[in-house]
């Protein structure tokens, strides 16, 4: 039973990964990654890592993938033209070589545990209780550093993705402050080509506002 489940989940994980790389549409790539992550969570469950599997589904397949979908929808992920550079041919060859090398290393390893089903484990192995106890005792410092890292990343994302003044004309705000007037109305300044009112330095210093020619 466990072998059947393993093969279903493993085939799902690998095919999801292939889908991420092969699908041309970015949106479908994200969906393939969601499938891959859920299959991987099943593999984690087979390895008795309940809490990691739950975190994988909630944090990864839930939150992070929603972020991806939003960004793909915002940027407008269309079909991608394939690269013309030599990497298009060399890349897959390198990846195949890496896969073969890793498999050879695994087959040739002297680790005896690899062919076994794993060491005997205590009851409650991988439950939130055990993981939480480890996080708050042995691994307290990495836990705090991880929370600090999350804070820094959140602030960094806000700083990176915010609207910057000066880099681009803010057209929505412009239209709200200076709505376009109907034709044959407006001021002489606008007729003379001066359409922006928020440039006080264009006017000579000390001159009253009403005395424009």
Partner 1 sequence: MAIGWYLVVSALIFAIGVAGVLVRRSPLVILLCLELMLNAANLALVAFSRMWGGEDGQVFALIVMVVAACEVTVGLGLIVAMYRRGLPIDVDDLRELQG
Looking at 84-92, 171-179, 181-189, 198-206, which segment touches partner 1 (CB under 8 A)? Answer: 84-92
C-beta of 158 vs 188, nearer to partner 1: 158
Backbone angles phi, psi at 124, to 5 degrees: 85, 20
The answer to whether residue 60 forms part of the interface with partner 1 (CB under 8 A) is yes
CB 172 to partner 1: min, Å: 13
- Burial grade of 56 (CB within 10 A; 0-12, 13-18, 19 or more): buried
C-beta of 72 vs 194, nearer to partner 1: 72
In the region spanning residues 38 to 57, those forming contacts with partner 1, defined by CB under 8 A, are 40, 43-44, 46-49, 51-52, 55-56
Whole-angstrom Cα distance, residue 9 to residue 91?
27
Q: Which two structure tokens, joined as six digits, stand for 44?
A: 């984690």
Looking at 35-43, 169-177, 183-191, 195-203, which segment touches partner 1 (CB under 8 A)? Answer: 35-43
- The helix (H) or strand (E) run that includes residue 135 is helix 128-136
CB 102 within 8 A of CB 114: no
The answer to whether residue 67 forms part of the interface with partner 1 (CB under 8 A) is yes
**Residues facing residue 200 across a β-bridge:** none
The answer to whether residue 110 forms part of the interface with partner 1 (CB under 8 A) is no
C-beta of 88 vs 196, nearer to partner 1: 88
Helix and strand numbers, DSSP H then E, in the chain: 9, 0
The answer to whether residue 81 forms part of the interface with partner 1 (CB under 8 A) is yes
The answer to whether residue 10 forms part of the interface with partner 1 (CB under 8 A) is yes
Number of residues forming the site for partner 1 (CB under 8 A): 91
The answer to whether residue 92 forms part of the interface with partner 1 (CB under 8 A) is yes
In the region spanning residues 118 to 177, those forming contacts with partner 1, defined by CB under 8 A, are 118-122, 125-126, 130-131, 134-135, 138-139, 142, 146, 149-150, 152-154, 156-161, 163-164, 167-168
- What's the CA angle centered on 11, arms 10 and 13, to 5 degrees? 65
Q: Length of the chain, please?
A: 213
Instruction: Write the Ramachandran bin of 166: left for phi over 0, alpha for psi from -120 to 50, otherwise beta.
Output: left
């Amino acid at each position: 039973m466990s072998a059947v489940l393993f093969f279903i989940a493993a085939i799902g994980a690998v095919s999801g990964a292939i889908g991420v790389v092969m699908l041309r549409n970015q949106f479908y790539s994200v969906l393939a990654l969601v499938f891959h992550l859920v299959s991987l969570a099943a593999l984690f469950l087979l390895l008795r890592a309940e809490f990691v599997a739950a975190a994988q589904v909630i944090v990864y397949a839930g939150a992070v993938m929603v972020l991806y979908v939003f960004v793909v929808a915002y940027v407008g992920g269309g079909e991608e033209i394939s690269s013309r550079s030599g990497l298009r041919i060399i890349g897959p060859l390198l990846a195949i070589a890496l896969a073969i090398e890793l498999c050879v290393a695994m087959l040739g390893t002297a680790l005896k545990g690899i062919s076994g089903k794993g060491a005997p484990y205590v009851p409650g192995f991988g439950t939130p209780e055990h993981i939480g106890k480890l996080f708050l005792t042995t691994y307290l410092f990495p836990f705090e550093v991880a929370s600090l890292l999350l804070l820094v990343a959140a602030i960094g994302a806000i700083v990176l993705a915010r609207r910057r003044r000066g880099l681009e004309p803010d057209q929505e705000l412009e239209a709200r402050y200076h709505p376009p007037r109907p034709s044959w109305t407006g001021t002489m300044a606008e007729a003379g080509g001066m359409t922006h009112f928020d440039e006080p330095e264009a006017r000579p210093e000390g001159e009253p506002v009403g005395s424009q020619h």
